[in-house]
Structure 1
Amino acid sequence: MHIDPVNILKDHDLKHTKQRVRVLEEIALDTVAISQPELEKKLGKEIDRVTLYRILNTYEDKGILHRIMDMNGTANYAICSSSCTEHHHHDEHVHFNCSNCQKIYCLDVKIPSIKMPPGFTASSINTTAYGICEKCSAGMKAD
């Protein structure tokens, strides 16, 4: 996925610091969601844990990233669609968590609308499918 971190930050009224740009660049390198511990390893000494935590929270608040919890309860992050805003995320799609490689994929499968009971207002809806991803399935057939 090609993204322009500086333009994304400008579009969301955020200063483009070296650390903020670096986090977006790293997240955009892969097609799967990434956890904070994985980002810490990839970024090494470039960004400390507290700064990374603040950047991820800011990005989530501003509608740049959305958070997906994996099967172990760890938060993972993926880039939001361009329609997400700081007031409302529009990432109502299915996530797939591979039980073999543990990677989380954002699938282009929409979640059907759900009618909430009177008095309830959903701010987000999350559906996660668990199983074996395409890459792991192909690897298992090769064995």
Structure 2
Amino acid sequence: MITSDEIENILEGKGIKPTTNRILILRELMKATHPVSLADFEALLGFSMDKASIFRVLELFSEKEVVHVIEDGSRSLKYELCHSGRYHTISDQHVHFYCLKCKETYCFESVSVPLVKIPEGFSPSSINYMIKGICPKCLK
């Protein structure tokens, strides 16, 4: 189990003041086994934090590259930390899979996003590579 001091160090390392709400959300992200939606956070945190506060923390985490935002086509943004390190960076993008049956989003950390040559003068800040289909659990 990661300590509050370790979480505070991670936040401070990204230039984020470690408030109680930020520590709670980062702790839940670190425990997550798959990308988490705003509704998931509401359920995980219960009555300890309102939806607007959760959203503000997630937006800050996205701006500071602590998390990246995944658009999986479910009309609900998902948030994810990189499990290969303590937090996500823009350069650490990987493939995701969205199951059309169970609506679960899976993270394929070992599968890098393919290199795409874009025209000169463009500077990408994020990449969203989503594969959609049926997961092994739902195929059974």
Structure 1: unaligned runs, 5 residues or longer: none
**Which residue is 2:103 aligned to?**
102
Is the 1:66–1:91 contact (alpha carbons within 8 Å) kept by the matching residues of 2?
no
- How large is the RMSD of aligned CA atoms in angstroms? 2.2
Offset, 1:2: 6.3
- Equivalent position amino acid for 2:73 in 1: M
TM-score by length of 2: 0.83
* 1:3-31 superposed Cα distances (whole Å, 9 cap, x missing partner): 84222112112222221111111122221
Query: Cα gap change, 1:13/1:128 in structure 2, threshold over 3 Å: closer, same or farther?
Result: same
**Which residue is 1:41 aligned to?**
43
Q: Distance in 2 between matches of 1:8 and 1:136?
A: 37
**Which residue is 2:8 aligned to?**
6
TM-score by length of 1: 0.82
Alignment counterpart, residue 70 of structure 2, candidates 68, 71, 80: 68
* 1:68-116 superposed Cα distances (whole Å, 9 cap, x missing partner): 012222110001464745xxx1232101111222121221201121111
Q: Distance in 1 between matches of 2:138 and 2:31?
A: 20
Structure 2: unaligned runs, 5 residues or longer: none
Q: Distance in 1 between matches of 2:9 and 2:98?
A: 30
Q: Distance in 2 between matches of 1:14 and 1:20?
A: 9
Q: Distance in 1 between matches of 2:30 and 2:105?
A: 14
Q: Distance in 2 between matches of 1:13 and 1:121?
A: 23
**Which residue is 2:94 aligned to?**
93
Q: Distance in 1 between matches of 2:133 and 2:88?
A: 28
Q: Distance in 1 between matches of 2:88 and 2:71?
A: 19
How many residue pairs were aligned?
Answer: 135
* 1:17-67 superposed Cα distances (whole Å, 9 cap, x missing partner): 221111111122221001001111221111111111110001001111000
Secondary structure of the residue that 2:125 maps to in structure 1? Answer: coil
**Which residue is 1:115 aligned to?**
117
- Equivalent position amino acid for 2:9 in 1: N
**Larger CA deviation: 117-126 vs 39-48:** 117-126
Q: Distance in 1 between matches of 2:9 and 2:73?
A: 33
